[in-house]
A and B are shown apart, each in its own frame.
Chain A
Amino acid sequence: DAMVIQNPRYQVTQFGKPVTLSCSQTLNHNVMYWYQQKSSQAPKLLFHYYDKDFNNEADTPDNFQSRRPNTSFCFLDIRSPGLGDAAMYLCATSRSRASNSPLHFGNGTRLTVT
């Protein structure tokens, strides 16, 4: 059974129209991450939550926001999507931030911006 679940698998939005991607986990992990992966590139970390503590990467645009209402759920909000934001968005979880705590990924949401 999938332990990190992302919805929807595919999302189409219009240029400038806000969009929300969701992630849920059944692992009860403390840390949840959002990565952006563009075609033929490595995943790039946008931000993560350690419990309720939000940690933004320095180069993540303000256009990207996140919410974690409880342990199980985390949302990625893109306030005004541009064409350059079309990508696969990957949610991941880990038990802790320790280096011996690997990430478990969901299957991603592929975002198309028209």
Chain B
Amino acid sequence: GQQLNQSPQSMFIQEGEDVSMNCTSSSIFNTWLWYKQDPGEGPVLLIALYKAGELTSNGRLTAQFGITRKDSFLNISASIPSDVGIYFCAGPEGSQGNLIFGKGTKLSVKP
């Protein structure tokens, strides 16, 4: 099946720094989704991308749907302590469109 390769695995940054993470696939996706998961909670949808080349913002978060449809990136500007968590990219796979996830990027923010 399709796989999503997410990098980096983890990041340790200082409060106020910008963050960038990305997700790649060997096959084409029609949708890219970015979720954030806090410890002990379920994933929460941050941004949904539906069109190649699309650039979408949600507050300090910006995500882009790569033009090749095989990648996406998520940027966080001016990070704050509550940005701590695991960020997952996800996309629908196969004829039924079941969502598959990347392995996540664990973000730690030092105040």
- A residues bordering B, Cβ < 8 Å? 4, 6, 33, 41-43, 45, 48, 50, 55, 57, 90, 92, 97-100, 102-108, 110
Contact = CB atoms under 8 A, between A and B. Distances in A.
Contact of A99 (B30, B35, B45): B30
A99 B96 CA distance: 9
Task: Report which residue of A43, A45, A107 has the largest number of chain B beta carbons within 10 angstroms of its beta carbon.
Answer: A43
Contacts of B92: 99
B40 A110 contact: yes
Contact of A100 (B50, B99, B104): B50
A42 B97 contact: no
B88 interface: yes
Task: Report which residue of A41, A48, A107 has the largest number of chain B beta carbons within 10 angstroms of its beta carbon.
Answer: A107
Nearest to B9: A40
A45 B98 contact: yes
